Amino acid sequence: MEKISVNSNLCDGCLNCEKMCASVHKVARIKIIEHDSSYYSIVCQHCDNAPCIKVCPTDAMSREGVDEDKCIGCGLCSIICPFGAITLNGSIAEKCNLCQDREEGPACIKSCSKRAISLVDPAKVKLKNQEKYIAKLSGETKVGNINGGFVRFITSQARARLVLEE
């Protein structure tokens, strides 16, 4: 499942995402926090093994959002969320549902003038990071003036030792 990601290097703290989210959903389901002159997002991570779903006594909570007809506003989901991403709006819990009801996609992404917010698929990010790491190890990337990676260096050293031992 895709997740909202905020690039703290691009975010300038304008809070347009919060304002747009609040205008669409009555309350902002994303929160931007400033810490050490950088901005970070608090937003539902749509956990695979979500504690908010497990603790909900009325089964109102799901990865896709909150069933307002079932929610009794007990706040247990808000208390147990490890990210602090669930808020109570009156007697209804609110959490990001990736604007599934909007054809245009998430309102926060559309409102970000810096393009700091995006939808990412964690599996694809993991694969991309693994590919970069393998390229670095195999020498497909150039580091300084040296073309060759750690694995190539170790392999050439091992070959040299084998030749000397024969």
Q: Which long-range contacts (CB under 8 A, 24 or more apart) does 79-83 make?
A: 80/51, 80/52, 80/55, 81/44, 81/51, 81/52, 82/51, 83/42, 83/43, 83/44, 83/45
Structure confidence at residue 139 (pLDDT)? 72
pLDDT tens digits, one per residue of 11-62: 999 999 999 999 999 999 999 999 999 999 999 999 989 999 999 999 999 9
Asked if 60 contacts 94 with a C-beta cutoff of 8 angstroms, the reply is no
pLDDT tens digits, one per residue of 82-135: 999 999 998 999 999 999 989 989 999 999 999 999 999 988 989 999 998 888
Structure confidence at residue 110 (pLDDT)? 94
Query: By CB neighbour count within 10 A (0-12 exposed, 13-18 middle, 19+ buried), where does 117 fall?
Result: buried
Q: Which residues are 20's β-sheet partners?
A: none
List Cα–Cα distances, 112 to 23, 36, 115, 124, 155, in angstroms.
Answer: 14, 21, 5, 23, 48
Structure confidence at residue 2 (pLDDT)? 87
Mapped onto helix, strand or coil, the DSSP state of residue 79 is: helix
pLDDT above 60 for 146: no
> Most distant CA pair in the chain: distance in Å?
79
Half-sphere exposure of 48 (CA within 13 A, CB side): 3
Structure confidence at residue 135 (pLDDT)? 84
pLDDT above 70 for 158: no
